[in-house]
Amino acid sequence: MLLSRLRVSPRWVLWVSPLRVLWAASPVLCSQSPDGPQGPLVVGSRALVAPLFVSLARQDPEGSGKGIHVFRLKPLKRDNKRGERGQGLVEFVLVLPIFLLLVFSIMDFGMGFHAWLTVTNSAREGARLGAVRGTQAQIVQKVQDTSTSLDKSKMTITVTNAQGSPGGSVVVDVKYDYSLITPLDKILGIVSGGKVGPTLKFDSKADMRLE
């Protein structure tokens, strides 16, 4: 199918600047038309229509009409890097709060679990001291010395039957209020029906037989 004719003089090269032209083929054949003065003929098939660059058309220098030059026209390349960067930035902004909440929630659970283990261990150490006739003051001091990583102002220590008769039991009760550092309590409050607040209460009791 005849699309257009490019008129050029012999031994001249026609340079066509990048144009958005609708062509009917990916390969384009440039050949000299039989009638000579009309210049090279540009033809193509009906395979597809796309914006193409016409790069170069060269007339047969001998004017014989036998010279055929094949040029493969490349489609326009669009710069999608800027769009990809913008899309990545939007995704990062959307994911960042969730990622930070997840990280701080893991930290909260880790620190809370450590506090619970410390409370349990300190109550056990206090009861062990009470079993060998330690006084109430000594038991309280032992509990505090065992839980140095916790805030003493949030800890409550109760000792029962510290100086009881042999065969009895001494009971050490340690309570601790752990404050969350993330707004995870709001999510847990919804799940638990309001039973979980910004402070987790740990309670550990240990009893041992008096010697």
Block means of pLDDT (10 residues each) for the chain, 211 residues, are 40 39 42 43 40 42 47 54 75 88 86 94 93 90 92 92 85 92 71 70 91 80
| Secondary structure of residue 4 in the 3-state scheme | strand
* C-alpha R_g of the chain: 43
Q: What is the pTM of this model?
A: 0.54
Distance CA 146, CA 188 (A): 30
What pLDDT is recorded for position 157? Answer: 95
Which tens digits make up the pLDDT trace of 40-90? 444 444 334 344 434 444 444 454 444 444 445 555 555 566 667 778 888
Which single residue is written with the structure tokens 């038309």? Answer: 33
Q: Which residues pair with 31 in a beta bridge?
A: 41, 68
| Secondary structure of residue 60 in the 3-state scheme | coil
Helix (H) or strand (E) run with residue 189 in it: helix 184-192
Q: State both tokens at 21.
A: 């032209």
Q: Which residues pair with 70 in a beta bridge?
A: 29
Q: Which residues pair with 4 in a beta bridge?
A: 42
Among the listed residues 146, 110, 109, 114, the one whose alpha carbon sits nearest the alpha carbon of residue 127: 146
Tell me which DSSP letter residue 181 carries. Answer: S
